[in-house]
Structure 1
């Protein structure tokens, strides 16, 4: 259901320098809070972003009395609504985004009060790059200030300022305002002050309408935005105020704990990062690591060791095996995380599948964070050494922070073909790891940073065809 558009005549008058300013749609979820909405509308009217390049979309989550926007607004505004089927802020935001017309989407919670320069600061990176995912600075003020005659856009007195969450401030400082982000950085992206380019939002599939209840939907979206190549940034100049304490300081401690537990349990099956599910769980849904091990050239025993080593390094991975011969080897790999790939076509052998259609949330979730093509089975090089799952997980995070999206693991230089000849300089490619981010960034015109590294430098080596299986499993070889 869509309400009449307000303010279209004023918004249509675009001329001069304003034409170069990006069009932004501010998407606001709403439920039975007319006073909050009135203050937010006033704060938007005070923005230094040109009103002619601004659209407000209020997405009502089934309020008994639909929100009414004032006439004569300097920007275009529209109300869309869904039926009341519980707390569905994620679905409301998705609905609002579908009605938005701007090429930049600025999500603001209904109780936020953005400072006059908020949109200008928040939109700068998305205007320059379709990959940009910007989280602003949510600050907190004493609710009593709202009763004192204070209005949005006016300075907030020092005495009315409530503490900011220290863990967020520390995370932004540690990561250079998210310049050194990784797949665990979703925790520092909050939908109350989230601004994204429409293109990367669509690639990620948008807010998931299936979320019901408080919390988690912004982290889940942020993690998908990371998976599709979103470039996270914290913009401290994009300040918006909330007339309340941070969640960690509200209400009863036991209830807060229960809410956070529900959120964590819900996200474990949706977010691949170790901060959401640890190292040991092997869950349905999105994968951190998906791999293929090729047995064609190495033999069955070497392939079995390679699969075992890979699963020890990434216990939650799924591993396909091609070229396996004997029934005994197949029986040894009868693990629910392993499937035997018979008759695999060339398309399935590619490093990554094609990027799915924009807006296909399920397909986004179906592509692992890291796809690993093991062309020659590998194992730790030192006798008796075994992979360390925590160390392997940390290695992937360090790659992500460094912006590496493809790794080629190399063997030793090839030996001379004839006696007396010098060794050839080429190093065979033993394995290729490709981050899902490379897939979507390539579609949007971005380049991937490739790291070519010898396996020996990583402490790994090819598994010998005549590997001693008993020694491998027994830990002495």
Structure 2
């Protein structure tokens, strides 16, 4: 396989999928292939024994091989405790939760108790058609960077037995038991159809709202599993982190299922939305509609600004940090990289010990939650969706960061590299592109080469983003004595008020005064 197509990692072929367009993948036809990958089906459950019995009855009739399937029901504190019914898959057991509750915590518990290559989540009120697992699992035989999502339709619960469900699923006659005309399609399914199976979606993780979802165990563990603090919205939040890790989302509506009961949005849409929005606002920065309060601080920032300050002065560093935090784009965090652990601690000569500027920076920013001191930075900014890195002595102009991020979004690129007149560069990386590159790159292959294939890389001059980029980059931080600079500026203004300058408009004089003041405080923050 060529570099443009992908490479082989172990037994897995990892194609260079562009954005979320998984069209190059060709899954085997249902019923016409030989499954080989073990799957662990995790069912979080709280009460509802009868519904669980129906779910297990449908799982017992799946076309995916029984010897490759294990089913774990995670009893999340049911009273009375859940029990195993007579009709169930061969390898089925119950585990219980501890030290927590909620669906995310329950799924994490189930994953920890299993060892299948693929993790499949199924809710305890789902009835799966006979080839549901097979339809989703065939994709995971192609590559290990996929998240597959099955279809579902809601229906009001009717009095059926587990035996009737098992017989209907086995005979592929489930539509006789549950009339398709009476089912309600999910909004997720309608979104999938509208966006060409999410191939053209800019944020395909939004379809991670259904209770039937599967992915490789390694991918699930790499992102840390579900957030156990969430009681609603945990699937969307997991989907967001999976996207930042480079996952490709594949909805397969041939994996059909019936969801017993009407969707929560129909029961009380207002309360459902209000419950989820504050949680997602803190953890999914791409939901800009949820972050309308510019003065707020958020758990996950929108952009991380990384500055190497090991050789920079305190004054230069402070100017760069202030410029990053005071720009037109809110919701920014700064990481200052330096050998902080090498600085003296405990008893030491405060005025003469090495690293005076770094020690002052450490003290000055130690209690600022927007600034982090680090010896190095991980290759990915996840879960932060964008990372900027550039010279510390070229402070960001007020709109620079916003312009660069907007360019990345508008052009759907994975990396924007701008070059200053002196040859140095500044970069904005899209975290999801970096995450995918880290998974796809061969040993020694430049990360940017992979990003160019999967998302695109753009190069351009800095003057498109820095209004004063035509000047030498060091100009904004060069300084003389404060009094001298201000006296010089004021002297120029005084001369401008003489006879030779009288014909000039008053607005011109005011503009020059403002410029002098801004110049002074930019040089001497």
Superposition RMSD in Å? 4.1
Aligned to 1:176: 196
CA shift for structure 1 position 190: 1.9
Equivalent in the alignment of 2:11:
none
**1:195 counterpart residue number:** 214
- CA 1:293–1:58 in 2, change beyond 3 Å: closer, same or farther? same
Q: CA deviation at 1:30?
A: 1.2
| 2:281 alignment counterpart | 268
For the 8 Å contact 1:307–1:319, the answer to whether it is kept is no
Q: Matched residue of 1:156: which SS?
A: helix
Which moves more between the two structures, 69-78 or 199-208?
69-78
Task: Please tell me whether residue 154 in structure 1 is matched to residue 173 in structure 2.
Answer: yes
Q: Equivalents in 2 of 1:44, 1:469: separation in Å?
A: 75
Deviation at 1:318, TM superposition (A): 0.9
2:108 to 79, 94, 117: 94
Q: Give deviations 1:429-458, integer Å, cap 9, x for gaps.
A: 421223434554455344631414113585
Residues 73-112 of structure 1 aligned to structure 2 (within 5 Å): 73-82=88-97, 88-112=102-126
1:353 equivalent in alignment to 2:378: yes
What is the SS of the residue equivalent to 2:71?
strand
Bigger radius of gyration: 2
Tell me, what secondary structure is at the counterpart of 2:238?
helix
Distance 1:432 1:30, change over 3 A: same
| Shift, 1:297, TM fit | 8.3
**What CA deviation, in whole Å up to 9, does each residue of 1:406-444 have, x standing for no partner?**
3322235x6xxxxxxxxxxxxx34212234345544553
| Post-superposition CA distance 1:235-258 (Å, at most 9, x none) | 2222211122222212xx4xx423
- What is the number of residues matched between the two proteins? 412
Post-superposition shift, 1:460? 3.7
State how far apart, in whole Å, the 2-side matches of 1:330 and 1:94 are: 38
Alignment of 1:312-391 (within 5 A): 312-320=327-335, 336=368, 339=371, 348=376, 352-353=377-378, 368-375=384-391, 377=394, 386=399, 389=402
> Which of residues 270, 291, 297 is equivalent to 2:305?
291
Q: What's the CA shift for 1:117?
A: 1.6
1:430 to 425, 447, 460: 425
SS in structure 2 of the partner of residue 26 of structure 1: strand
- Residue 54 (structure 1) shift: 1.1
Q: Hey, what's the Cα distance between the residues in 1 that align with 2:122 and 2:254?
A: 15
Q: Match for 1:410 among 412, 415, 419?
A: 419
Note if 1:27 corresponds to 2:36: no
Checking the alignment, whether the CA contact within 8 Å between 2:314 and 2:361 is kept in structure 1 is no
Matches of 2:407 and 2:518 in 1, distance apart?
27
Give 1:119 deviation, angstroms: 0.9
- In structure 2, what is the equivalent of residue 454 of structure 1? 460
Q: Call closer, same or farther: CA 1:306–1:62 in 2, change over 3 Å.
A: closer
- The CA distance in 2 between the partners of 1:69 and 1:84, in whole Å, is 23
Q: Do 1:141 and 1:160's aligned partners in 2 also have CA atoms closer than 8 Å?
A: no
Preserved contact between residue 264 and residue 272 of structure 2 (Cα < 8 Å): no
CA distance 1:92–1:328, change in 2 (3 Å): closer
Alignment-derived partner of residue 308 in structure 1: 323
Shift of 1:204: 0.6
Q: Which residue does the alignment assign to 2:508? A: none
2:483 match? none
Unaligned 5+ segments in structure 2 are: 1-31, 339-355, 442-446, 477-514
- TM-score for the superposition, normalised by structure 2: 0.66
Deviations 1:175-204 (A, max 9, x none): 43233454x544321250111111110101
